[in-house]
Chain A
């Protein structure tokens, strides 16, 4: 079965600094999608970034970028110039095909220190 692991239950970062959240996954498939979702205290889940496994180029969305290492099955999220509004739970997620189930990791709680 596919699994998603986030080994850092909690992380903290100084405002304006850079932080990297780790995610590893287990799959035997070659084509899949990976995601990072953010859950602020409001509880609303928000997409941060999406990566297609067949694309070599790492996805980027403004201050958010990923380091996708397909052979190592690693998908880390880098947040640059951290802001107070980045404080949230961050979930890594995986899905194989357009209609397959989406599996989430246990999450990393990120605190931003002013």
Chain B
């Protein structure tokens, strides 16, 4: 099992450029989400999805777009990168059940993005 795969691991952008962070999971998880991690602020939720075709905004959605066309993939798009979007980004997924593992997030390895 690969778990949650994020690409790329590192990226440098110039202000105004666009890019997509890819996230794929092979665990048939219904729930997928994107977080950004900044020093002293923990993980802040950007967008999340409870299934294919369904997305919703988190705490800090501005400047980011998502789509969920399949259960496996949940890409995060930066339309016009800004220095304030310099951060480490994490994709995470989970399933829902009554078992002890319900709602436990499985995280990708993270993507470090620098916007100059």
Contact = CB atoms under 8 A, between A and B. Distances in A.
A43 B37 CA distance: 10
Contact of B50 (A45, A99, A105, A107): A99
Interface string B75-113: 000000000000010101010110010111101011000
A45 B92 contact: yes
Given A43-B88, A106-B41, A99 B105 contact: no
Contacts of B43: 91, 104
Contacts, number: 60
Contact of B107 (A9, A44, A103, A107): A44
Contacts of B109: 43-44
B42 A107 contact: yes
A47 B42 contact: no
Contacts of A44: 107, 109-110
Contacts of A106: 40-42
Contacts of A105: 42
A23 to B, nearest CB: 11
Interface string B29-69: 01101010000111111001010000010110000000000
Contact of A104 (B31, B42, B50, B100): B42
A50 B104 contact: yes
A91 B102 contact: no
A70 B50 CA distance: 27
A64 interface: no
A107 B35 CA distance: 14
Contacts of A103: 45, 59
Contacts of B104: 35, 47, 50
Sort A-B residue pairs by CB-CB distance and give the 8 closest, nearest first.
A98-B96, A45-B107, A106-B42, A104-B43, A99-B50, A104-B42, A107-B42, A43-B110
Interface of A: 4, 6, 9, 33, 35, 37, 43-45, 47, 50, 91, 93, 95, 98-99, 101-107
Given A35-B103, A99-B96, 8 more contacts: A44-B110, A45-B107, A98-B97, A98-B102, A105-B42, A106-B40, A106-B41, A106-B42
